[in-house]
Chain A
Amino acid sequence: MEAILLSNRYRMIISLSRLARELKVTSPDLITRPMGRSFFKKVASRLSCIQDGETILLDFEDIRVVDSSFIAEFIMKLIFESQSNTQRFYVKLSSLSDTTIMNIESVFKSYHSMNNSKIAVITDELINNSYAIGQVSDKGKDIINYLNINKSASAVELASFLQEESGYTAQLLEELHSLGLVKTETGRNTVLYCAI
């Protein structure tokens, strides 16, 4: 319960349409690298006050298209920043249009094919039976979906749910955590894995 409260307490919600108005962007489309850079700069200026373990919810309500250039300069950079920042934070996407989902999937796939490293992000709604977009294995998706319903679980519970050995499950959880797809909270003498 303690972990659930912690997970929910710290959340920064960023409305992209509001941010667009602040940056004098009147279109429902977030396009081009320069625009992506200006959005990233704006959000990065708010990261100084972020708490360790906090989630940034990027709300794309009213945004029709986010093109791959904007994704590369804004969403991907924010994901990389979340993994390297001194305060570890997490990124979650909300209210994505079908085209934006397709563009994110495509950019992540291209990144993976060229760079041979995985990238993924959590979403607030089911997309192709998963709450994650990107390079996540089926078992990884199962964990994310389980945590989305149950909020938190120990590695032992998750190994039992997956019907997998604890070593394999621990490795999988470590990967999901490093990708920013699950959080960890220290509960009563045990590490709990929590939904973003």
Chain B
Amino acid sequence: MPDDNRITIPNTLKDTYSFEEIINLREKLFSENISHIDMSRVGFIEPYSMVSFAILGREYLRNTGKKLTLVNIPLNINQYLYRMDFFKTGIFENTDKLDPKYYFKRSSLSKSVIEITEIPGKERESIRVISDVIATFRKRADNILKYWLFGSIVDYFVTVISEICQNIFEHSIDSGFLAMQTYSYSSEHIVRLVISDSGVGIRESFTGKKEISVDSTASLIEKVLTTPLSSKRDFGYGLCQVNTIVEKLGGSIYIRSDDASVSVVHNKKYNSTTKTFQKTNLAPFPGTQLSVTLTT
């Protein structure tokens, strides 16, 4: 295999922000006819990066008709990807087949995850999958949310999963992926729900709504989080409701769409303050990626 067909990705699959470095390589991936991705430098993958990486691989597969091949995957990363059913998506080739004796166990104690699940782009199939995902979440919620179990938090997350997943078949005109996981990083416990698609993106889905004027995609994303707007109806409640719930939980939302991202951080510890961060002129990436995060 010639080296010029291979790209070595940096160890930037740790969070939503560092994943931008992977998105920056997207153009190179297509223009330089890359066929292999060297994973040897990757030391950690969290759910947002995993799902977005799957979106990237799927775009490559659709555009070229070929699967990207992952090589030199460190054992712990390979174990994680197998555990999350990453390779079951059929998007990537993996030369480093994992011996089953190295599989992470799927006992009740290890069920602090919802494996990567495809949310279909068609209404009927999507409803069935969303119901299945929620049933799985309910079964595992005590593990997934073990650091946050209070009040109605499980029911809150059911609402969040339902509302965001519906956006996939309602607005994106594509299928998407969902994953959820509790993990520890530095001294923090983190639970992260990720729902992504590679569809038309938020800006394009609103092209028919001339009455909504915004100066950037980031402003539009912020607007749909705070105002009950819909690209299809007079108004929609989904993302606005999700934002309300995340505010109650003192969590954060990150949305990336097209060339922009918005982070909304609701901090209960410091006078219940909310801070919003917009980023524009990012490298273009198809669809909409959304993550909801709680930290201890």
Contacts and interface: CB of A to CB of B under 8 A. Distances in A.
B135 to A, nearest CB: 6
Interface in B217-236: 227-228, 234-235
B157 to A, nearest CB: 9
B240 interface: yes
A41 to B, nearest CB: 15
A33 B124 CA distance: 11
B31 interface: no
> How big is the A interface, by class?
20 to 34
Contacts of B158: 29, 31, 64-65, 67, 99
B35 interface: no
A69 interface: yes
Given A99-B155, A114-B228, A107 B130 contact: no
Interface string A131-174: 00000000000000000000000000000000000000000000
Contact of A97 (B152, B163, B234): B152
B8 interface: no
Contacts of B32: none
A128 interface: no
In terms of DSSP, what is the predominant structure of the interface of chain B? helix
B155 A69 contact: no
Nearest to B170: A33
Contacts, number: 84
Contacts of B238: 68-69
Contacts of A95: none
Contact of A67 (B151, B159, B235): B159
A145 B170 CA distance: 40
B127 A99 contact: no
A178 B241 CA distance: 27
A187 interface: no
Contact of B163 (A67, A98, A113): A67
Interface string A92-115: 000001110011001100110111
Contacts of B134: 27, 29, 31
Given A110-B228, A110-B240, A99 B159 contact: yes
Closest 4 A/B residue pairs (Cβ): A110-B228, A99-B155, A68-B237, A31-B162
